[in-house]
Amino acid sequence: MDDKPASPATVDEYIALFPSDVQQIMGKIRVIIKEVAPDAVEKISYGMPAYHLDGVLIYFAGYKKYISIYPRTAGMETLKEVEVYKGTKATIHFPLNKPVPYDLIRKIVEIRVAEKAKK
């Protein structure tokens, strides 16, 4: 019998998988996304929270030492603040042992919404 837990079906279920301090951070990120993109559809995609607004807007995910956002855009190159955070070409990692830059996350979501509006 497979003892592997089922994948979360909702963002609430996903967030509940993490310790309470990480849940709070994810909750704030979720609120920011919903404030900036109130028409975005929230779902689980690729096993993580995803927000769709005429296609993928942004994803976020929790890990042992950081929370990552996946903005899926080249527009992040214009934000110098992003340079101090480790990540990959498509992700930005926010370490859990440092303050989370919620204002930066808001800017990133705003950039993504503006990009979607241009299309």
Judge whether residue 7 has pLDDT over 60: yes
Domains of the chain: 11-118 (3.90.1150.200)
Judge whether residue 41 has pLDDT over 50: yes
Mean pLDDT of the chain: 87
Which residue from 111, 110, 116, 65 is spatially nearest to 86, judged by alpha carbons? 65
Model pLDDT for residues 50-59, shown as the tens digit of each residue: 999 988 999 9
CA dihedral for 12, 14, 16, 18, sign (positive or negative): negative
Q: What is the mean pLDDT of residues 14-27?
A: 95
* pLDDT for res 86: 73
Beta strands in the chain (DSSP E): 41-45, 48-52, 56-62, 66-70, 92-95
Looking only at the bridges linking them, the beta strands covering 56-62 and 66-70 are: antiparallel
Whole-model pTM: value is 0.88
| Residue 15 parent element (H or E) | helix 11-16
Judge whether residue 75 has pLDDT over 70: no
